[in-house]
Amino acid sequence: MDILIMLVCAVITIGFLVFIHEGGHFLAARAFGIRVTEFMLGLPGPSVGFTRGETRFGVTAVPLGGYAKVCGMEAGPLQPHLQEVLAALYRRGTANMEDVARDCGISDDAAYEALEELVEWGSVIGPQKADQFNTYRAPRVAPTKRQLKKATAAGKALPSYELGEARPVENERALYESEYRQQYRSLPFWKRSVILLAGIATNLLFAMIVFILVFSVIGFQVQHPETGEVTTIHASVLQALQAGFMYIGMVVQAVAGLFNPATAAQTVSDSTSIVGIAVMSKDFFQAGLVQGLEFMAMISVSLGIMNLLPIPPLDGGRFVVEIFQKGTRRTVSQKAMNYMSMAGMALFLGFFVIMLNQDIQRFVFGNW
């Protein structure tokens, strides 16, 4: 029973913090008019959920982590022939790769690369499991009630198309530019930076709100050293914010210790994996709602600061890549991004294995 409670507390803690982190990316992207095709709790894979607008919300089969699929974040230069391939597919509605290649007068490989990039853009729906060939489809277009209301008030009619339905393309360039403007890569540097750092900012903002709630609104208890009398003290909002910033500074200092050979071993020893978070979340939530909130705030700060590390595929790593591209005016290739991401994942996998091993030993021998 204890293990079940532990798992429930861990899922609530990690699930909520990942939700607000990815929610930060999602809201920032949508604020700039960028398409987000998926908002999932869990690693990419089979999922259950619902679709609202152009975004599918849900939970995957592996509920660890989460992601918001912001369109147009693929690295490297744009594929050629995107404009004519997009128009050719829309005119057909549903077409195989070979049909598009023939319509555009390009090779099958060129058509495939362009179609796959358009799939990443959310402008085209990729092949499905039931398809015998590489079949691509134009997406479903269904105006929202708000859009229909505005169009009706303006005396206009908005088109509606089903998935894979052919549609007229009068201006190929206008169609392409309309789709391109909804891509992350179309944004200037500062807007890209906001999207990348929005998840971290949301985690830290949540923590600061909890500090204010706990220390200023709810208050904390202090016991008099002589009389033993317990009194509740309410700190000012400024004092609560100061406490929050001090804690953030402590976490930054601890994370920085990973990169110092003299303190790296001790920092890893003092850290914990998902197993440790599960055990501690149970203890904190059983101690009360206030303690549970404090624990979530602490983990939220750790999640935010860890994502700030300049290591792909973390947000901080992608931000460093953006700074490099802005400063050198050179585009980092997808191949280079893949190599850096693999190296980063290997590094974190090593840390995870070490911390998981020490957490299991602590759990078995009761040395928390």
pLDDT mean by block of 10 residues, the chain; 368 residues: 72 87 96 95 86 90 84 89 96 94 95 95 92 89 72 73 91 95 96 96 95 87 70 85 91 80 69 70 78 88 89 88 89 84 80 69 58
Q: Alpha carbon of 161 to those of 93, 142, 214, 218: distances in Å?
A: 10, 7, 51, 53
Strand partners, 223: 230
The domains of the chain are located at 2-70, 82-181, 189-365
pLDDT score, position 340: 85
pLDDT at res. 356 = 67
Q: Does domain 82-181 have CATH number 3.40.50.620?
A: no
DSSP per-residue letters across 299-310: HHHHHHHHHTSS
Which alpha helices (DSSP H) does the chain contain, by range?
2-31, 82-92, 97-104, 108-121, 145-153, 172-180, 189-212, 237-256, 264-270, 274-287, 289-307, 315-328, 334-365
Distances (CA, A) of 82 to 110, 117, 121, 311: 10, 8, 11, 31
Q: If 0-12 CB within 10 Å is exposed, 13-18 middle and 19+ buried, where does residue 70 land? A: buried
- Residues 270-308: tens digit of each pLDDT: 666 666 777 777 778 777 888 888 889 988 998 899 889
Q: Within 13 Å of residue 189, how many CA atoms lie on the same side as its CB?
A: 12
Give the up-direction half-sphere exposure of residue 284: CA atoms within 13 A in the CB hemisphere.
21
Q: In this predicted structure, what is the pLDDT of residue 273?
A: 66
Please give the pLDDT value at position 262.
73
Among 207, 236, 234, 209, CA closest to 222: 234
Q: Which residues contact 119 (CB under 8 A, 6 or more apart)?
A: 125, 126, 136
Inter-helix orientation angle 289-307/274-287, to 10°: 150
pTM metric for this prediction: 0.87
